[in-house]
């Protein structure tokens, strides 16, 4: 059987691309490795729920507050007014997305991508079937590489695909303390904690994210030599979660910069982590992965209809047109504030500001920078520079 599109990877990005293409009537294969669960806090904003029709049953928790914790242990609670952030467990969520793609007509394959070959008959994806261990050969018109941060498709097929900066993320899924506040004063099943502390992560952050009956506790870093398990143990101790049962442990690279090019100018386009679309500063990836899968599917459809390989460039153009400014702002924040504990202290102090809180969550919930309040932006800019230049001392209410 010849496919129109062969999607390598069945995470949120690959499954979204496969579903969109199958719904549009194309012959689609989706290849995924069974059993892999990506380490992830699991947060998805309301826009993701709307845009990708995520059922309420997939949400294991609804977060109403975000707590920012500084190196000195000071905390700022940011309340989410008029809404919530949904939390998903990636083990169940990713499988739901794969099943939905298959129900809409995508052929679901289980195995490992090996390489792309081309001959007079066309493009072929060579992969190893998990059940038999045999090599398989699938002919296709186009390939979407959605196979993660260290994408084998990107490294082999797209210029610059082997040069992408990333943090290493590690987390432990634990059994949540029973009884919420009563069981543990430092844990709230409706609050996400974000810990900016060089003892936990010298250049990123740690987190405690509720998942209903479970919780995700983890951290990330680009710095070599940091023992992620030791840092996570320290975070669990700091949060009073040492005695909680550990369900599973996971680690993986998380890219923090979109690649300059997402296609090979011929028959391959990248999506999701393979293209580097995890937000700097926050490390948020699920929404952007799904958005990346959607634009990759759109670009693939354009190329199939026109016969022009250059239409594959639309994927990056569409994504960066909508999200590029947000990524640049978040990258600047990370570079400015994550470099030292003094800067992290100032960053959390800045989060006390009501304008910062409102604009931050308006942008997070809807995935766009808010332009309706220009004076608030001016005030934030002035306060930001004052904190960065050390013209003000961190203040706490």
pLDDT at 397: 42
Cα(367)–Cα(187) distance, integer angstroms? 28
pLDDT at 379: 45
pLDDT in tens, 149-187: 889 999 999 999 988 878 889 999 999 987 655 455 579
The greatest distance separating any two alpha carbons of the chain, rounded to the nearest whole angstrom, comes to 70
- Decide which of 3.30.930.10, 3.50.50.60, 3.90.1330.10, 3.40.50.720 is the CATH code for 2-53+89-164+257-323: 3.50.50.60
Side by side, which strands form the sheet with 85-87? 43-44, 85-87, 61-63
Which of 332, 341, 364, 350 is CA-nearest to residue 256? 332
Determine the distance from the C-alpha atom of residue 36 to the mean position of all C-alpha atoms in its chain, rounded to a whole number. 16
Structure tokens at 15: 């499954």
pLDDT means over runs of 10, the chain (397 residues): 95 97 98 82 90 95 93 90 88 95 98 97 96 96 95 95 86 85 71 94 93 93 92 95 93 89 97 92 89 98 97 98 88 86 90 74 66 45 44 51
What does the DSSP 8-state code read for residue 55? -
Structure tokens at 219: 């951290």
Which of 174, 181, 192 is CA-nearest to residue 244? 174
175, burial (CB in 10 Å: exposed 0-12, middle 13-18, buried 19+): middle
Each residue of 39-75: b (16+ CB within 10 Å) or e? bbbbbbbbebbeebebeeebbbbbbeebbbbbbeebe
pLDDT at 39: 74
Do the strands 191-195 and 65-69 form a parallel or antiparallel pair, or are they unpaired? parallel
Q: Which fold has domain 59-87+165-255?
A: D-Amino Acid Oxidase; Chain A, domain 2 (3.30.9)
Total length of the chain: 397
Cα(220)–Cα(207) distance, integer angstroms? 9
pLDDT at 370: 52
Cα(166)–Cα(368) distance, integer angstroms? 24
Cα(258)–Cα(320) distance, integer angstroms? 9
- Which string of DSSP letters, residue by residue, matches 349-378? HHTTSHHHHHHHHHHHHHTS---S-HHHHH
Q: Where are the domains of the chain?
A: 2-53+89-164+257-323, 59-87+165-255, 327-389
Residue 70 near residue 345 (C-beta atoms within 8 A): yes
pLDDT at 48: 93
Cα(233)–Cα(71) distance, integer angstroms? 17
Q: Give the pTM.
A: 0.90
Which of 193, 240, 242 is CA-nearest to residue 219? 193
């Amino acid at each position: 059987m010849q496919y129109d599109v062969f999607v390598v990877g069945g995470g949120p990005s690959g499954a979204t691309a496969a579903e969109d293409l199958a719904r549009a009537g194309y012959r689609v294969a989706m290849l995924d490795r069974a059993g892999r669960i990506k380490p992830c806090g699991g947060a998805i904003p309301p826009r993701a729920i709307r845009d990708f029709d995520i059922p309420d049953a997939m949400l294991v928790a609804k977060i109403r507050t975000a707590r920012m914790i500084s190196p000195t242990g000071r905390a700022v609670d940011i309340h989410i007014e008029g809404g919530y952030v949904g939390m998903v467990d990636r083990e169940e969520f990713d499988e739901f997305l794969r099943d939905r793609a298959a129900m809409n007509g995508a052929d679901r394959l289980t195995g490992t991508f090996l390489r792309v070959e081309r001959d007079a008959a066309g493009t072929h994806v060579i992969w190893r079937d998990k059940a038999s261990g045999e090599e398989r050969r699938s002919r296709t018109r186009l390939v979407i590489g959605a196979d993660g941060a260290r994408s084998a498709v990107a490294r082999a097929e797209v210029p610059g695909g082997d040069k992408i900066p990333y943090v290493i993320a590690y987390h432990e899924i634990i059994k949540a303390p029973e009884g919420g506040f009563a069981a543990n004063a430092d844990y709230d099943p409706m609050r996400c904690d974000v810990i900016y502390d060089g003892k936990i992560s010298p250049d990123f952050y740690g987190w405690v994210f509720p998942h209903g009956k479970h919780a995700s506790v983890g951290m990330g870093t680009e710095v070599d030599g940091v023992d992620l398990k030791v840092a996570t143990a320290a975070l669990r101790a700091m949060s009073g979660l040492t005695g909680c049962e550990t369900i599973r442990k996971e680690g993986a690279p998380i890219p923090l910069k979109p690649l300059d090019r997402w296609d090979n100018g011929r028959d391959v386009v990248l999506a999701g982590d393979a293209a580097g679309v995890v937000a700097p500063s926050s490390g948020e990836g699920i929404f952007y992965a799904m958005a990346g899968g959607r634009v990759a599917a759109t670009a693939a459809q354009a190329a199939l209809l026109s016969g022009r390989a250059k239409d594959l460039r639309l994927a990056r153009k569409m994504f960066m047109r909508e999200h590029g400014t947000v990524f640049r702002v978040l990258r600047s924040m990370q570079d400015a504030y994550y470099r030292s504990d003094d800067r992290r202290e100032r960053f959390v102090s800045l989060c006390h500001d009501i304008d910062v809180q409102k604009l931050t969550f308006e942008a997070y919930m809807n995935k766009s920078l808010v332009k309706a309040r220009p004076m608030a932006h001016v005030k934030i800019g002035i306060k930001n520079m004052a904190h960065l230049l050390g013209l003000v001392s961190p203040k706490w209410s």
